[in-house]
Structure 1
Amino acid sequence: MFSGGAELPSSLGSGRVGIRLIHRRDARTLERLLRENRAWLEPWEATYPGIPGPTPGEVSLRPTIKRMLRQFDEGRGVPFVITYDGAVVGQLSASDVSRGALWSASVGYWIDAGHAGRNITPTAVALAIDYLFATVGLHRVEICIRPENAASLRIVEKLALRYEGRRLRYIHIDGAWRDHDSFAITREEVSGSMVDRLAPPS
């Protein structure tokens, strides 16, 4: 179990890539990255039907981070930042953590455009899945991706996640209900670690 706001182990890293628990002090850096990557991220951002939302990076992320950390304390999610050579370059969250008869979570992420295509995000996702299986004790992790999001589809391809099917009009993204393809993996499907499935990040 994870609770009490405890730090994630410092060993959550592979080469130059790392993930760690998000801190309130990360807000300013993440806000800057969201502003600088507005055009890059907007097609994949969640929206709320009928409610015009604020532009990411134009409002403080501190309340959002506070909420994420509360969910971490309650065992309902794990909010990470993605780092490269120690610098924050993106964000990754395990959300909808379920116990009971399911023991599952969903993973979502984004990265600075200047760091895309360098195996950083696949490595961060692999580290997160390894943590969720080995430390949190989950049985299943899923990632849902818009069929048009070629970059994200390459991530699940590299990690050899299993395709489970298409969810029609599943999540409100960029102003409309969008189809998503569901990919998943269970602990039984992993021999060794997820990071072992990847080439070293560039």
Structure 2
Amino acid sequence: MWGRFAWPVTLETGDIVLRPIRHRDKREWMQVRHRNIEWLAPWEASNPAPGGYLPSYHEMVRALNSQVRTASALPFLITMRSQASSRPAIVGQLTVSGIVWGSALTATLGYWVDREHAGRGVAPTAVALVTDYCFWELGLHRMEINIRPENSASLRVVEKLGFRDEGVRKDYLHIAGSWADHRSFALTADEVPGGLLNRWQDAQPRM
């Protein structure tokens, strides 16, 4: 299965383009994050170690690239085309991490989206696009997403896409300064034989 892993990879559908995060994206990434501080703060991963040090942008990118080299992660930026610019603008981030090969063929997916674009189908489309890539190109069998029970916006994403609720994981991740429970959602390739993106797009109302 390792032979099917490739990077860099760009995925797109309609106006949404998923591409690798890069060191030179720092300025635009920081601008998006800054205007979303209050929106994202309750769901931010934190460091339980004394001092609570968090990596800088460049340290984050280096760490993600290191995971790519071991075929254990796919770090994407979510970008969108618009008439205002010839270059798709950053509207979020999506990372497939913890890829396990062998008999498991599983991974975990996490994401965030600019508040201005929340509720417009950006996150579900990005999640569906990447999940299909992992299932049909990488040969993975299972995708998992873990969400705080209070994060209603993120919960709507997995509900729209039909991910199964597999229950609560107590104190699963350190979030915003304390250990936090998460609800675990999952989907297997067998459950979406026609592709998750197709199922999601087919469910949208026709104009």
Q: Which residue of 2 aligns with 1:169?
A: 171
In the alignment, does 2:13 pair up with 1:14? yes
| Distance in structure 1 (CA, Å) of the matches to 2:129 and 2:188 | 15
Structure 2: 5+ residue runs without aligned partners? 82-87
Could you report, residue by residue, the CA deviation over 1:51-89 in whole angstroms, capped at 9, with x for unpaired residues?
A: 44468xxx7412211221121121010000001112111
| Distance in structure 1 (CA, Å) of the matches to 2:173 and 2:56 | 24
Q: Is the 8 A contact 1:98 1:105 kept in 2?
A: yes
Of 72, 75, 80, the match for 2:76: 80
In the alignment, does 2:14 pair up with 1:2? no
In the alignment, does 2:66 pair up with 1:70? yes
Cα distance, 1:193 vs. partner?
1.4
Q: Give the AA of the match of 2:194.
A: G
Could you report, residue by residue, the CA deviation over 1:140-195 in whole angstroms, capped at 9, with x for unpaired residues?
A: 00000011000011000110011111111111111111110000011111121111
Question: What SS class does the counterpart of residue 5 from structure 2 fall into?
Answer: coil
Report percent identity of matched pairs. 45
Instruction: Return the TM-score normalized by structure 1.
Output: 0.89
Q: Give the AA of the match of 2:5.
A: F
With a CA cutoff of 8 Å and minimum separation of 6, indicate the structure with the bigger relative contact order: 1
Of 156, 159, 169, the match for 1:157: 159
Q: Give the AA of the match of 2:41.
A: E
Structure 1: 5+ residue runs without aligned partners? none
Cα distance, 1:107 vs. partner?
0.2
Aligned residues: 194
* Backbone CA RMSD of aligned residues: 1.8
Could you report, residue by residue, the CA deviation over 1:11-56 in whole angstroms, capped at 9, with x for unpaired residues?
A: x22211121122222222112211111111010011112444468x
| Distance in structure 2 (CA, Å) of the matches to 1:64 and 1:43 | 20
Cα distance, 1:198 vs. partner?
2.2
Q: Which residue of 2 aligns with 1:127?
A: 129
